[in-house]
A and B are shown apart, each in its own frame.
Chain A
Amino acid sequence: MGLLQNAIEEAGFATASLTTMPVITTGCGVPRAGYVRFPLGTPLGEPEQTDVQQAILADLLHLVWEAPGPRTVAQFPYRWRRGLPQGITPVLPPQ
């Protein structure tokens, strides 16, 4: 996804991506990304949590206009409410 994002950005479109895997996103290098501490497969959060999903989408939009430069990875503050499914290994950023 990071390679596609950069290619689209290079073609003249402003882009931002949502990632659940900040190491991969940072290692690949992208113009702008929001890191959400959610399981792989649910970058906007839980089903039917419209308020959370829309808040994340709004944050991602603001990142497009507010990121200071390329390789911006912003950590979004949302928490998975039900606890992580078994087998998921979250990747935490440094404190």
Chain B
Amino acid sequence: MRFERHILEDAARLYAAYHDRWRISHGPVIAFERNEHVAFTPPARPMAQATVALITTGGVHLRTQPAYDMEDRLGDMTLRFIPRETPAGELRFTHDHYDHASADRDPNCMFPLEHLRAFEAAGIIGRAAPSHVGASGWIPQPRTFLAHAVPAIVERFRAEGVDVALLTGG
């Protein structure tokens, strides 16, 4: 087994180098983006009172929702809202850029909605949000994605009183 050891202080250069490699493997469609300004919002209330939502770019969707289109070179930029009471057996993962065999077997590996409900029942968090968010992680033009995805997510989160969002990706 081969291990790579990276110096995190050099992450900015390595992050750019990843993009160069992705352009070789995926073509010039890959746009280089990073957060020049990183935001920081303190949580609005204590954990035991907070409403928590999940967001995953691991390609989760309901069995009854359309799968993400993995054939589109520009990526499928649509969102899937997942209701909080969704049983794990109703979740599917469509994503060609990582091995989602573990998530297929147990969605909590990527999208821990069952655990979030358990944390609510145990009083660890205030409540699991009414809606959670699925997206495809293959987004080579992220600014285009953000322009429509962020307003849609923010509108839903505000309407449903979300305080905290936890993100996972593929």
What string of 1s and 0s marks CB contacts (under 8 Å) between A5-22 and chain B? 111111111111111001
Compute how far the CA of A7 lies from the CA of B167 in the bound complex, rounded to whole angstroms: 12
Whether A6 contacts B7 by the Cβ 8 Å rule is no
Indicate which residue in B58, B100, B124, B162 contacts A13 across the interface (CB closer than 8 Å).
B162
What string of 1s and 0s marks CB contacts (under 8 Å) between A57-76 and chain B? 11011101100011101000
Compute how far the CA of A39 lies from the CA of B11 in the bound complex, rounded to whole angstroms: 19
B residues contacting the other copy or chain, number (CB 8 A): 70
What string of 1s and 0s marks CB contacts (under 8 Å) between B19-56 and chain A? 00000000000000111101111111011000010010
Interface residues on A, range: 35 or more
Interface residues of B (CB under 8 A from A): 1-9, 11-16, 18, 33-36, 38-44, 46-47, 52, 55, 57-58, 98-103, 105-106, 108-110, 112, 115-116, 118-119, 124-125, 135, 137, 142, 145-146, 149-150, 153-154, 157, 162-170
B130 to chain A, nearest CB (A): 15
B37 to chain A, nearest CB (A): 8
Q: Which secondary structure dominates chain B's binding surface?
A: mixed
B122 to chain A, nearest CB (A): 10
Q: Does A77 contact B (CB under 8 A)?
A: no
Which of A5, A17, A29, A42 is packed against the most chain B CB atoms within 10 Å? A42
B142 to chain A, nearest CB (A): 5
